[in-house]
């Protein structure tokens, strides 16, 4: 445990040193570096209905800072993101890339999984996403998520003009999460040599009919081997297929995302297959220049008594989320949100308020 | 209960802090400017939009650096309406998303007019936008093209 902790500290220090070195050495006009800090303060209020036997009531506070750094030097790219919060300190992304042709890049490192729209668009930046909470199906591994949101390995991505529009592609080959005790254990760059990291093959194709607008339609697919953590026996081979649509008109934006997930759950003595469908539709509308309200409906089918879902802490089967966000000075946002959700027969009512910002 | 009270509180803050900016009523012209050292031709409207969205232009071959001018709210709003066709919040979050997702370069922003002029001088082939009336025959900048001309009522 001591060695494990020390290795992470050394890793973070090396990352910080490398980033600062790159800042100092980047001198040419066409080369650049970007540094963004996304701090946030979030307070969650929870209330479970009276029929629940395991009601968890109360509130908790999370303070976090997401630090993002990107560097471009000739055709080389470097990108990294680290999160420090009251719950954890983690290197979320670290990518070294090469732009071999304008608009086409290879990367090596740890990335956001391209499954769905939400993960690559927002990931850990609370300021960039309008709502406080992510849709349940896109939850992070260490927050009860049932899909791998981080992968380490090789990524190819790029865009190609298609008439007036653009086709964007992402392909990843690497290693991903493990099956832990009631949650996925996401892969970490410094732990890649650990045994039990299964293969992940993921891909996404997105088409934007007008390159200057945000409207798009996409399909994605993935195969992930969730091998059991040391000391555990249950592993899962997971196949994911899905798609999403993003539509914008004037002040209205609608995001719809759907996932079909098939799981082969394996133990030393048995194997069973199960599948479920989950998705959400998220709409937001700019009431004024500064005020945006939003509503999101999440639903799923086939999750009751599902052999894979039952391995996790309660999974949100259905949820309705509404909220209001106030943007101030193009750098600060204050958001309030109420949601009601159902998981495994329990109904939860949940409130939250959040301040998020971006510097500089 | 607590969440709804907080919502009402935030709404009140929003109403009370809405910017009230004064601008002289009358005709105004929004123009694209660059350093007087640059001699490139007017930029296609679509390319202008692409440049300020961080997308490679289709018709303009030379490398142009866009700089957002946020020294005046109403001017910035007119620019967003006539060229970008997005709200300020949507536009700025979109630009941030591009940086955050792909590690692309953030479009520079000048918060003051004098700083804008310095940025135009030091960045090769940089462009920005201002009210034509604010130029006051400045020999260091030249007008590339007009974006919009119209009345702004107070």
Residue B133 dihedral angles phi and psi, to the nearest 5°: -65, -25
ipTM of the complex: 0.82
Share of chain A above pLDDT 70, in %: 86
Residue B90: per-residue pLDDT = 85
Extract the runs of DSSP E, i.e. beta strands, from chain A.
Answer: 32-48, 58-73, 76-85, 89-101, 104-112, 150-162, 165-175, 178-179, 184-185, 199-208, 216-226, 235-249, 252-266, 271-286, 291-301, 318-328, 332-343, 346-357
**Chain A 129-188, residues with CB within 8 Å of chain B CB atoms:** none
Q: Bridge partners of A184?
A: A179
A212 to chain B, minimum CA–CA distance in Å?
A: 7
The answer for residues whose C-beta is within 8 angstroms of residue B27's C-beta and 6 or more apart is B149, B150, B151
Per-residue pLDDT, averaged over A284-299, amounts to 94
B20 in contact with A at a CB cutoff of 8 Å?
A: no
- Check pLDDT > 90 for residue A294: yes
Residue A11: per-residue pLDDT = 53
A359 in contact with B at a CB cutoff of 8 Å?
A: no
Q: How far is CA A346 from CA A64, A313, A318, A319, A322, in A?
A: 29, 12, 11, 12, 20
Residue A27: per-residue pLDDT = 42
pLDDT band at A26 (very low <50, low <70, confident <90, very high): very low
- Check pLDDT > 90 for residue A306: no
Residue A9: per-residue pLDDT = 53
pLDDT digits (tens, 9 = 90+) for B73-89: 899 999 999 999 888 88
Residue A187: per-residue pLDDT = 77
- Check pLDDT > 60 for residue A172: yes
pTM for the model stands at: 0.84
Reference A302, options A286, A323, A317; nearest CA is A317
Please tell me which residue, A97 or B60, carries the higher pLDDT value.
Answer: A97
Please tell me which residue, B20 or B31, carries the higher pLDDT value.
Answer: B31
- Check pLDDT > 50 for residue A175: yes
Task: Verify whether the Cβ–Cβ distance B105 to A34 is below 8 Å.
Answer: yes
Of B11, B56, B100, the CB nearest to A68: B100
pLDDT band at A193 (very low <50, low <70, confident <90, very high): low
Residue A55: per-residue pLDDT = 45
Per-residue pLDDT, averaged over A303-315, amounts to 86
pLDDT band at A97 (very low <50, low <70, confident <90, very high): very high
Of B4, B55, B100, the CB nearest to A36: B100
Of A32, A121, A286, the CB nearest to B97: A121
Task: Verify whether the Cβ–Cβ distance B10 to A326 is below 8 Å.
Answer: yes
Residue B2: per-residue pLDDT = 60
pLDDT band at A214 (very low <50, low <70, confident <90, very high): confident
Residue A87: per-residue pLDDT = 80
- Check pLDDT > 60 for residue A333: yes
Of A32, A211, A289, the CB nearest to B87: A289
pLDDT digits (tens, 9 = 90+) for B122-134: 888 999 999 998 8
A327 in contact with B at a CB cutoff of 8 Å?
A: yes
pLDDT band at A203 (very low <50, low <70, confident <90, very high): very high
Residue A195: per-residue pLDDT = 58
CA distance linking residue A118 with residue A125, whole number of Å: 11
Reference A332, options B89, B154, B48; nearest CA is B89
pLDDT digits (tens, 9 = 90+) for A236-276: 999 999 999 999 988 899 999 999 999 999 988 888 999 99
Q: What is the largest CA-CA distance in chain A?
A: 65
- Check pLDDT > 80 for residue B105: yes
As a whole number, the mean pLDDT across chain A is: 86
B73 in contact with A at a CB cutoff of 8 Å?
A: no
Residue A185: per-residue pLDDT = 84
Residue A28: per-residue pLDDT = 45
B20 to chain A, minimum CA–CA distance in Å?
A: 13
């Amino acid at each position: 445990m001591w060695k494990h902790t020390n290795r992470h500290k050394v890793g973070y220090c090396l990352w910080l040193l490398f980033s600062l070195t790159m800042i100092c050495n980047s001198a040419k006009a066409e080369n650049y570096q970007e540094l963004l800090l996304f701090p946030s303060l979030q307070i969650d209020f929870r209330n479970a209905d009276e029929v629940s036997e395991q009601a968890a009531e109360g509130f908790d506070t999370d303070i976090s800072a997401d630090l993002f750094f990107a560097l471009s030097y000739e055709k080389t790219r470097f990108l990294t993101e680290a999160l420090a919060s009251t719950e954890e300190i983690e290197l979320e992304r670290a990518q070294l890339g090469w732009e071999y042709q304008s608009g086409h890049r290879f990367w090596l490192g740890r990335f956001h999984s391209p499954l769905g729209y939400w993960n690559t668009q927002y990931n850990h930046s609370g300021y960039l996403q309008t709502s406080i909470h992510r849709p349940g199906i896109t939850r992070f591994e260490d927050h009860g998520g049932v899909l791998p949101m981080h992968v380490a390995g090789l990524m190819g991505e790029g865009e190609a003009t298609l008439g007036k529009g653009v086709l964007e592609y992402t392909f990843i080959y690497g290693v991903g999460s493990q099956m832990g005790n009631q949650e996925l254990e996401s892969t970490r760059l410094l732990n890649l040599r650990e045994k039990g990291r299964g293969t992940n093959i993921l891909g996404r194709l997105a088409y934007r009919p007008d390159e200057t607008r945000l409207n798009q339609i996409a399909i994605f697919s993935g195969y992930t081997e969730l091998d059991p953590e040391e000391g555990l026996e249950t592993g899962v081979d997971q196949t994911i297929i899905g798609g999403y649509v993003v539509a914008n008109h004037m002040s209205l934006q609608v995001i719809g995302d759907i996932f079909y997930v098939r799981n082969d759950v394996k133990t030393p003595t048995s194997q069973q297959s199960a599948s479920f469908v989950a998705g959400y539709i998220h709409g937001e509308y700019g009431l004024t220049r500064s005020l945006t309200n939003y509503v999101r409906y999440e639903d799923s089918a086939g999750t009751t008594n599902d052999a894979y879902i039952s391995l996790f802490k309660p999974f949100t089967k259905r949820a309705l989320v509404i909220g209001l966000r106030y943007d101030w000075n193009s750098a600060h946002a204050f958001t309030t949100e109420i949601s009601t959700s159902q998981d495994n027969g329990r109904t939860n009512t949940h409130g939250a308020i959040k301040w998020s910002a971006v510097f500089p | 209960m607590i969440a709804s009270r907080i919502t009402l509180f935030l709404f009140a803050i929003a109403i009370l802090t809405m910017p009230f900016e004064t601008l002289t009523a009358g005709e105004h012209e929004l123009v694209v400017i660059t350093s007087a050292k640059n001699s490139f031709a007017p930029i296609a409207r679509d390319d202008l939009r692409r440049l300020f969205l961080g997308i490679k232009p289709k018709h303009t071959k030379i490398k142009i650096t866009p700089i957002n001018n946020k020294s005046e709210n109403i001017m910035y709003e007119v620019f967003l309406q006539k060229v970008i066709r997005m709200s300020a919040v949507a536009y700025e979050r979109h630009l941030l998303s591009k940086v955050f997702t792909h590690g692309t370069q953030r479009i520079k922003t000048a918060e003051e007019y004098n700083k804008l002029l310095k940025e135009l001088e030091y960045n090769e082939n940089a462009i920005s936008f201002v009210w034509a009336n604010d130029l006051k025959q400045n020999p260091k900048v030249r007008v590339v093209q007009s974006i919009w001309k119209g009345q702004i009522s107070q």
